[in-house]
Chain A
Amino acid sequence: MKIPIAFFLSLIVFSTANLFAQNEFAKEFIFATKLYNEENYYDAVTECKRLVFFDSDSQYVFKAYILMGKSYKMGGKFSDAILNFTNAELNAKTSGEVFESKIEIIRANILRRTTDRALQLLDDLDKNGNFSSRTDEINYWRGWTYIFAERWKEAASSFSKIDSCEQLQQLCMQVEKDKYSVTFANLISHFIPGAGQIYTGNYVSGFLSLGWNILAGYVTINSFAADRIFDGLVELNFFWLRFYNGNIQNAQKFALYENQKISNKALNYLQFQYNGTKP
């Protein structure tokens, strides 16, 4: 009877010894997390690196790589973040961890605006049968990818596939509706100089452009009418065409600028007032 007692005693002793080491790593991970929460990202990375270096049993390696990636992401070092999320994926032990690391990679790609890569990764997740139950999350991040690429219509379409994302869908549709057509602004400026600027709400610029074109046209035509051909050619080239071409380019520029303002307003709202998960 005494032998089994000794055996059990030894088992307890061994497990205590293992726990002791694990506690050290757990403490280190808690310390790294604390540094991250205090926005001390440089030191958080150092402690995560220490953890990865010493944790030969890989108890905390996945978590450490994820935390390291997040720290780099917060510091705007997206490529380093992706490298660490990829390392996390390589050290993932469950399909849940694989999914988590892949989503982190996608989020970092969204932020660094490597849209094609983010979409490619989302498509891969979509095709992977292991994650068929997580389609909503995949569509959610696809929507965000399109938002950051300023493809609001496609973003709205992605959010429409998720029941709980009506607010985001509405926002994206509104942005798409508010945007000016660059092609239309360009086209009407060919026919009526200044019309493109007026269409985008830049009235002063539009009427000024119209005025310059009328003046330049008058001077040029007058010269041709008076048989001063060389004068007319130079005025046409240096005066009228300069204002005519400038008006077309300006209309396009204003349309793009106004669209940017509309997009930025929406992004600003998403950054500061939207409470859901963001990249």
Chain B
Amino acid sequence: MKKIFLFFIFFYASGFSQAIHQNEVDLFSPANIKKFADYLYCSGDYLRAALEYEKYFSADPNDTVKFKIATAYSKIGKYSKASALFDSFHENSKFFPFARMEFFETLFEEKNYPELRDSISNAGLSNGFIFKEQAKKIYYFSYLYSNESLPSKSDFLSNFSGPDLNQIKYFYDWKNNPPYKSPLLAALFSAVIPGSGKLYAGEIADGVTALLATASLGYLSYTDFKAGHYFRGWLFGGLAAGFYAGNIYGSAAAAQIYNVKIQFDFENSLKVFINSKNCFVPEINFCK
């Protein structure tokens, strides 16, 4: 009887330890912090994921977690934090080439083109670097975004080949000689013929309206003065002068707006092109 009793005591004691093991949840143990961070990362909650990974990283620093922290920061646009982390990978790390390319991408997104080109020249173009071709393309594409002088056309185009060459040629030519409208010229046109500056800047309806309004008001002013109605003559003359001056200013502004618009369209289409051609290294999928 005593043996049976002891057996039960032993049996339940082992059950107890198992139960404690199964039910005890230390929410802030490193393993659980990592589990939670993985869940946040894969559900796209990158800021929280980065903060949780940072907590875990202090307990177990490793490259995988560091790479995830950097990627999470990059995803939410905190490029300076991301680039510092990507830059800190050692050459021996298996993540090194990916981190390097991500580093270039963060610099590219930050529009820090001089540092990007320096970094690519220093490390990205060495022969051992597995993503050398992509790095080279990023290097040259950065010129299309910055205001620095472009490399020669032959140098630039020698880094590209295949069916996209024509499109890249178009981007190069656009950047080299952008089809801007001169605000000064637009203002001068409108000073000579009211509305013509607007026509030059592509605003046809506005140009025609400005011409008609200025001409009608000017004519009214002229006929009123001629008929001896001086008050009305001055009134319509003043309005005509206002329209005339406003139209000159408006034409210069229209040319500037036109330039901003085409610059925006150019950068947008370039961005779409770069993304569609996988110029950056594909992301490592940690959420399979």
Task: Tell me if B223 is interfacial: C-beta within 8 Å of chain A.
Answer: yes
Contacts of B205 in A (CB 8 A): none
* Chain A residues within an 8 Å CB radius of B24: 17, 20-21, 24
B224 at the interface (CB under 8 A from A): yes
- In this assembly, does A151 line the interface, its C-beta being within 8 Å of a C-beta of chain B? no
Are the CB atoms of B23 and A18 closer together than 8 Å?
yes
Bound-state Cα–Cα, A44 to B216, Å: 67
In the complex formed, the residue of A with least CB distance to B52 is A46
Would you call B16 and A49 a contact (CB within 8 A)? no
Which residue on chain A has the smallest CB distance to residue B39?
Answer: A53
Indicate if B12 sits at the interface (CB-CB under 8 A): yes
Judge whether B20 and A20 touch: CB under 8 Å: yes
A-contact 0/1 string along B2-13, CB 8 Å cutoff: 001100110011
Q: Residue-by-residue, is B197-223 near A (CB-CB < 8 Å gives 1, otherwise 0)? A: 000000000000000000010001001
Q: Which of A22-58 contact B (CB under 8 A)?
A: 24-25, 28, 45-46, 49-51, 53-54
Chain A residue with minimal CB distance to B9? Answer: A6
Q: Does A225 contact B (CB under 8 A)?
A: no
Binding site secondary structure of chain A:
helix
Return the contact of A49 from the options B20, B23, B45 (Cβ within 8 A). B45
* Assembly CA distance A13 to B26 (angstroms): 19
> Is A219 at the interface (CB under 8 A from chain B)?
yes
- Contact present for B12 and A13 (CB under 8 Å): yes
Shortest CB distance B246–A (Å): 15
Are A25 and B48 in contact, CB atoms less than 8 angstroms apart?
no
- Determine whether the beta carbon of A14 is less than 8 Å from that of B25: no
A54, B38: Cα distance in complex, Å: 13
Q: State whether the Cβ of B44 lies closer than 8 Å to any Cβ in chain A.
A: no
B40 and A49: CB pair below 8 A?
yes
Nearest A-chain residue to B10, judged by Cβ: A6
Residues on B with C-beta less than 8 A from A10 are: 8, 12, 15-16
Q: How far is the CB of B78 from chain A (nearest CB, A)?
A: 15
In the assembled complex, B88 has its CB within 8 A of some CB on chain A: no
Q: How many A-B residue pairs have CB under 8 A?
A: 71
A2 within 8 A of B: yes
B residues 18-57 in Cβ contact with A at 8 Å: 19-20, 22-27, 32, 35-36, 39-40, 45, 48, 51-52
Assess A54 versus B45: contact at CB under 8 Å? Given A3-B8, A7-B8, A9-B12. Answer: no
Query: In the docked arrangement, what's the CA distance between A20 and B12, Å?
Result: 17
Bound complex: CA A45 to CA B47 (Å): 12
B103 to chain A minimum Cβ distance, whole angstroms, is 28
**C-alpha spacing A182/B19, complex, angstroms:** 72
Shortest C-beta distance, B197 to chain A (Å), equals 23
Nearest Cβ on chain A to B203's Cβ, whole angstroms: 22
A20 to B23, CA, bound (A): 7
Count the A residues whose beta carbon is within 8 Å of the partner chain — how many?
Answer: 27
CB atoms of A21 and B15 under 8 A apart: no
A2 close to B16 (CB less than 8 A): no
Whether B192 is near chain A, meaning CB under 8 Å from some CB there, is: no
Say whether A234 contacts B25, CB under 8 Å. no
Instruction: Mark out the residues of chain A between 188 and 237 whose CB falls within 8 Å of any chain B CB in the assembled complex.
Output: 219, 228, 230-231, 234
**Contact in complex: A25, B16 (CB < 8 Å):** no
Chain B: minimal CB distance from A91 (Å): 17
**Which residue among A28, A50, A54, A228 has the maximum number of chain B CB atoms within 10 Å of its CB?**
A50
Interface residue? B1 (CB, 8 A): yes
Determine the chain A residues whose CB is within 8 A of the CB of B26 once the complex forms.
24
Q: Are A6 and B12 in contact (CB under 8 A)?
A: yes
B75 within 8 A of A: no
Q: Once the chains bind, are A50 and B23 in contact (CB under 8 Å)?
A: no
Q: Are A46 and B48 in contact (CB under 8 A)?
A: yes
Interface residues of B in 37-83 (CB under 8 A from A): 39-40, 45, 48, 51-52
Complex CA distance for A176 and B24, rounded to whole angstroms: 60
Which A residues are in CB contact (< 8 Å) with B232? 219, 231
| Alpha-carbon separation in the docked complex, A50 to B88 (Å) | 30
Distance (Å) between the CB of B163 and the closest chain A CB? 43
B45 and A17 form a contact (CB under 8 A): no
Asked whether, in the complex, the Cβ of B16 is within 8 Å of the Cβ of A50, the reply is no
Q: For B8, what are the chain A residues with a Cβ–Cβ distance below 8 Å?
A: 3, 6-7, 10
Are B19 and A14 within 8 A (Cβ)? yes
Q: In the docked arrangement, what's the CA distance between A186 and B256, Å? A: 41
Task: List residues of chain A with CB within 8 A of the CB of B36.
Answer: 49-50, 53-54
- Are the CB atoms of A14 and B16 closer together than 8 Å? yes
B27 touches A24 (CB 8 A): yes
Tell me, rounded to whole Å, the shortest Cβ–Cβ distance linking B28 to chain A. 9
Give chain A residues whose Cβ lies under 8 Å from the Cβ of B51.
46
Q: How far is the CB of A42 from chain B (nearest CB, A)?
A: 8
B contacts, CB < 8 Å to A: 1, 4-5, 8-9, 12-13, 15-16, 19-20, 22-27, 32, 35-36, 39-40, 45, 48, 51-52, 216, 220, 223-224, 227, 232
**5 contacts across the A-B interface (CB closer than 8 A):** A3-B5, A3-B8, A20-B24, A54-B25, A219-B232
Binding site for B on A (CB under 8 A): 2-3, 6-7, 9-10, 13-14, 17-18, 20-21, 24-25, 28, 45-46, 49-51, 53-54, 219, 228, 230-231, 234
